[in-house]
């Protein structure tokens, strides 16, 4: 492909994206594709001869679009929002176009320094103290893995440099709530703690971690000669956006010399609103914190913000400095390869930078308030409806509800009934939501927050849910 062809095709790609977004609302939100359906449209062997890109663009609509679930659709209410604003799309395009690899400062100083600028802006936006330094990771899963590895290394005086976890030292334990994201369990296992040393502590009626139970678990471990190593507080759990008591957990972490990691993957964005900051009171006492601008904020996947209070520890744990990576500037600059697991790094700061320039903090705040308001509205409708139940508080933008037909108390039947409602809505293509199970109860989970979702879509969803409940 030469420059001119790139120009020609590139314009077509941009037009295709804009056309796609313009008509997205008319497409079925959840892909109706069956397993193997997309794969069967492609040749089994690679092309022998080149020149096939123009034809591929034509095949986008025919072969790939049916296999796409439209995360930016105005009636996307599943999982958590993963918005990709136009501005961030342009940033990603520039990142790809520059093709720069930002593993070290020297390998593209702008990639490192714009990331420093953007992470500092994000710190200010969510109101973290200046003591926190930030770095971009691909996902919250990776950020939490980094946190637990650092917790392990701090507790063992950097044992990785000697016998690692094989020195026969006391077992290290990790604590999170039974509502913590699966990435916390995965990180604990990958970081070598072992499932036997992961405590998933019980939660209260609001689905938040119970401090009294946490304290008991810790005391039991200490009495048995184990060492409490890390506490993970979730601010905004995935099921219901429950808020763990960060300040209380910080006090326990401090008392036992344990690491406190805060997982605010979705809810971190809400802290751009001063009226939400009470939700993570005590956060300034955390050792590390992750939130995902690639969720509610609108920065296209993948962009996870990882903030730490002790970057020196992070770089001690993560750095390897073989001769071929060393440069004369190493003493004066950040080499972001030492701030996480991968060596190679994309220039992700571009998409966040453009997104922030486009929306401004006030634009972000207005959109967040709109979504909070819409979720509140839906919660109020559910509360006012006699045969609908709300199963969790709504501090943010997720509403967990279920339909209870008159006199129906049988959990099995309620499960089947509510699954059928969700399935009917999803199969209609008009909206997409995810059913979930909350402490044994089947719920329909409505997560508001796609960039294009307004009150009209939330009202339409409520109508659809009621109609589906009558029909199934």
Ligand X SMILES: *Cc1c(COP(=O)(O)O)cnc(C)c1O
Segment near ligand X (CB under 6 A); pick from 89-97, 151-159, 259-267, 382-390: 259-267
Which C-beta is closer to ligand X: that of 141 or that of 397?
A: 141
**Contact (Cβ atoms closer than 8 angstroms) between residue 306 and residue 340:** yes
Question: What's the min distance (Å) between Cβ of 112 and ligand X?
Answer: 22
Question: What's the min distance (Å) between Cβ of 339 and ligand X?
Answer: 17
One of 72, 240, 304, 426 touching ligand X (CB under 6 A): 304
Report CA-CA distances (Å) from 137 to 98, 102, 181, 287, 293.
20, 13, 17, 17, 11
Site for ligand X in 223-242 (CB under 6 A): 234, 237-238
Question: What's the min distance (Å) between Cβ of 116 and ligand X?
Answer: 21
Instruction: Tell me if 265 contacts ligand X by CB under 6 A.
Output: yes
Helix (H, G, I), strand (E, B) or coil at 362: helix
Question: What's the min distance (Å) between Cβ of 263 and ligand X?
Answer: 5
How many angstroms separate the CA atoms of 59 and 42, rounded? 10
How many angstroms separate the CA atoms of 193 and 319, rounded? 21
Helix (H, G, I), strand (E, B) or coil at 444: strand
How many angstroms separate the CA atoms of 37 and 358, rounded? 38
Residue that has been written with the tokens 């044992």 in this structure: 159
How many angstroms separate the CA atoms of 247 and 253, rounded? 10
Joined together, the tokens standing for residue 259 give: 């690491």
Instruction: Tell me if 447 contacts ligand X by CB under 6 A.
Output: no
Total binding residues for ligand X by CB under 6 A? 14
How many angstroms separate the CA atoms of 212 and 367, rounded? 37
What is the contact mask toward ligand X in residues 61 to 80, using x (rule: CB under 6 A)? Answer: -------------------x
Segment near ligand X (CB under 6 A); pick from 133-141, 268-276, 316-324, 427-435: 133-141
β-bridge mates for residue 234, sequence order:
263
Which C-beta is closer to ligand X: that of 271 or that of 464?
A: 271
Question: What's the min distance (Å) between Cβ of 198 and ligand X?
Answer: 15
Instruction: Tell me if 399 contacts ligand X by CB under 6 A.
Output: no
Which C-beta is closer to ligand X: that of 242 or that of 350?
A: 242
- Other Cβ atoms within 10 Å of 88 Cβ, number: 28
Instruction: Tell me if 292 contacts ligand X by CB under 6 A.
Output: yes
Which C-beta is closer to ligand X: that of 173 or that of 241?
A: 241
How many angstroms separate the CA atoms of 290 and 209, rounded? 18
One of 174, 266, 313, 378 touching ligand X (CB under 6 A): 266
What's the order of all strands across the beta sheet hosting 288-291? Answer: 133-137, 304-308, 288-291, 259-263, 227-234, 172-177, 198-201
Instruction: Tell me if 139 contacts ligand X by CB under 6 A.
Output: yes
Which C-beta is closer to ligand X: that of 138 or that of 359?
A: 138
What is the contact mask toward ligand X in residues 176 to 215, using x (rule: CB under 6 A)? Answer: -----x-x--------------------------------
Sign of the dihedral defined by the CA atoms of residues 322, 323, 327, 331, in that order: positive
Residues that bind ligand X (CB under 6 A): 80, 139-141, 181, 183, 234, 237-238, 263, 265-266, 292, 304
């Amino acid at each position: 492909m030469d420059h001119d062809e790139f120009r020609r095709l590139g314009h077509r790609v941009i037009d295709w994206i804009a056309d796609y977004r313009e008509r997205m609302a008319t497409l079925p939100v959840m892909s109706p594709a069956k397993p193997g359906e997309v794969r069967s449209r492609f040749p089994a062997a690679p092309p022998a001869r080149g020149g096939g890109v123009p034809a591929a663009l034509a095949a986008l609509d025919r072969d790939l679009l049916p296999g796409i679930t439209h995360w930016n659709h105005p009636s996307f209410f599943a999982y958590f929002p993963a918005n990709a604003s136009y501005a961030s799309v342009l940033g990603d395009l520039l990142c790809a176009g520059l093709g720069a690899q930002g593993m070290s400062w020297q390998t593209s100083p702008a990639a490192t320094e714009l990331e420093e600028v953007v992470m500092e802006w994000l710190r200010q936006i969510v109101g973290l103290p200046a003591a926190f330094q930030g770095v971009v990771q691909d996902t919250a899963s990776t950020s939490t893995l980094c946190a637990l590895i650092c917790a392990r290394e701090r507790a063992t005086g950097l044992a990785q440099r000697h016998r690692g976890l094989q020195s026969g030292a006391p077992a290290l334990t990790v604590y999170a709530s039974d509502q913590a994201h699966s990435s916390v369990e995965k990180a604990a296992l990958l970081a070598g703690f072992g499932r036997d040393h992961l405590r998933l502590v019980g939660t209260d009626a609001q689905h938040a971690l119970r401090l009294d139970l946490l304290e008991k678990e810790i005391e039991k471990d200490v009495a048995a000669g184990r060492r409490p190593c890390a506490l993970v507080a979730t601010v905004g759990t995935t099921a219901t956006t429950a808020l763990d008591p960060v300040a209380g957990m910080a006090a326990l972490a401090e008392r036992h010399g344990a690491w406190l990691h805060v997982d605010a993957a979705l809810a971190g964005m809400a802290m751009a609103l001063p009226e939400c900051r009470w939700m993570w009171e005590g956060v300034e006492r955390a050792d590390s914190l992750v939130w995902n601008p690639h969720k509610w904020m609108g920065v296209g996947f993948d962009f996870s913000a990882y903030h730490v209070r002790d970057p020196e520890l992070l770089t001690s744990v993560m750095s390897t400095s073989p001769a071929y990576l060393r440069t004369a500037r190493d003493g004066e600059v950040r080499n972001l390869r030492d701030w996480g697991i991968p060596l190679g790094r994309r220039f992700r700061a571009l998409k966040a930078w453009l997104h922030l320039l486009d929306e401004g903090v006030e634009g972000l705040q207005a959109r967040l308030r709109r979504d909070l308001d819409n979720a509140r509205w839906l919660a109020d409708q559910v509360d006012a409806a006699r045969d609908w139940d709300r199963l969790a508080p709504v501090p943010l933008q997720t509403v967990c509800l279920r339909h209870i037909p008159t006199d129906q108390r049988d959990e099995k039947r309620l499960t089947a009934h509510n699954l059928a409602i969700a399935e009917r809505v999803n199969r209609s293509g008009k909206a997409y939501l995810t059913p979930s199970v909350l402490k044994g109860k089947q719920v329909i989970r409505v997560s508001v927050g796609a960039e294009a979702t307004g009150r009209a879509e939330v009202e339409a969803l409520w109508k659809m849910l009621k109609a589906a409940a009558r029909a199934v």
